[in-house]
Amino acid sequence: MDVKATSLDFAPMHERMDFYVKQNILSCCATVVMQGQEIVDYKTFGYMDIESKAPLRSDAIYRMYSSTKLVTSVALMMLYEEGLFDLDDPLAKYMPQFDGLSVLKPDAQTPQDAVPAKQLILIRHIMSHSAGFSYGFIEPDSVIDQAYLQGGLNVLTDSSIDLEEFCDRVARLPLAYEPGTSWRYSVATDVCARLVEVLSGQTFDEFLQQRIFAPLDMPDTGFWVPPEKTERFITQYAPTDFFDPMKPGLVKADDPVNGQYNTLRPLLSGGGGLVSTVADYVNFLQMIVGGGERENVRLLKAATLKEMRKNQLAPGVHVTFPMWAMPGTTFGLGFALKETPQASEPASAQDEYHWGGMAGTHSWMAPNAGITGFCLTQRMPGFWHPFSHEFKAHAYAIAGQ
């Protein structure tokens, strides 16, 4: 990747990122800062694996987890531009299994405490996590997540079914709430991936390869790591203390040679299945901040991306997680939206749009500050981790306008 020479001093940010590796809080870290589509800083820290201490490669392959969601959302909106659906179309128009769903009663004690849903799921609902789906692992003791686990839906551990069967199982479960009335992080983006298949007539991986990865020169992005690339695949670690993100100590969580990504699995997860490199994903981010175009390759119209950055949630509804605080955040078509900057953030953070992956691959675009940030590690969990917040604060302070 070409880094533009500037007078900006990123040393304070580099020192802080290096701290996380030296303290054994992260095994590795990579950071990218862009102004417009130009890279003004790129740095790697740490190791491919702690055991050998092999330095982190610039062409290292990362498990992207939910950073996949941005790619899936772009894919579906490409088909929207072709006139294949309307955002207010019922999902059941294209996927009939999502007709006649049930919704949990407010006081439900079991998944069976449900009544017929009054509202239909619209496509804009599945793109904004407001359809009433859930995930099964975010709040495992909840009635809705118990229903997902009992229904054979555990996206973290089971990739043995394809998208069609996955959606059939989702459609047999109750909704957490009436579509369009609340927000809950969910398998909705996997449903979006299946909708891409239904509308395009291609498998999801074929569509992405033909329509996004090849045009944007993303040769190392896909749903698995073939044997000839395993030496570039980073070992993934988990903290020894899940409840203290700043406590040193890591244990291996996924092997780069004999792990879950070393074979192509049936579930082409649009919500979390991709692996990628810094260079590949930066090409994708450059397309987004370029209004849908990168180096004369256009995937989307600027107006479509603008539509994706509009809040889709009902009045008063915000993004909420049991374990991560995201105050002042709403959701568009695939992006979380910063509606209200917090006291610790600059005013130019207004209208920032972003998302990231569970193992710590977070990208954010800040149009008012004129910058984009991308930080990566392989720590499970590593989303919304202090290292990414500190990276963002430094990036705004050093390169923001």
Q: pLDDT digits over 328-344, tens only?
A: 999 999 999 999 999 88
DSSP 213: I
Q: Tell whether 235 and 300 lie within a shared domain.
A: yes
What local confidence, expressed as pLDDT, does residue 336 receive?
Answer: 98
Residue range 135-147: mean pLDDT, rounded: 92
At 26-41, the pLDDT tens digits run 999 999 999 999 999 9
pTM: 0.97
What local confidence, expressed as pLDDT, does residue 191 receive?
Answer: 98
At 103-122, the pLDDT tens digits run 999 999 999 999 999 999 99
Amino acid making up residue 57: R
What local confidence, expressed as pLDDT, does residue 324 receive?
Answer: 79
DSSP per-residue codes, 154-195: -TTT---S-HHHHHHHHHTSPBSS-TTS-----THHHHHHHH
What local confidence, expressed as pLDDT, does residue 105 receive?
Answer: 96
- Two structure tokens written together for 149: 């686990």
Q: Domain tally for the chain?
A: 2
Q: Tell whether 221 and 363 lie within a shared domain.
A: yes
Residue range 316-328: mean pLDDT, rounded: 89
Q: How far is CA 343 from CA 200, 214, 346, 368, 391, in A?
A: 45, 42, 8, 17, 17
152: confidence class by pLDDT, cuts 50, 70, 90: confident
What local confidence, expressed as pLDDT, does residue 156 receive?
Answer: 77
The answer to whether 304 touches 53, Cβ cutoff 8 Å, is no
**Domain's final residue, options 181, 202, 223:** 202
Owning domain of residue 59: 11-64+207-315+326-399
Q: Tell whether 255 and 384 lie within a shared domain.
A: yes
Residue range 256-278: mean pLDDT, rounded: 96
**Domain's final residue, options 186, 202, 218:** 202
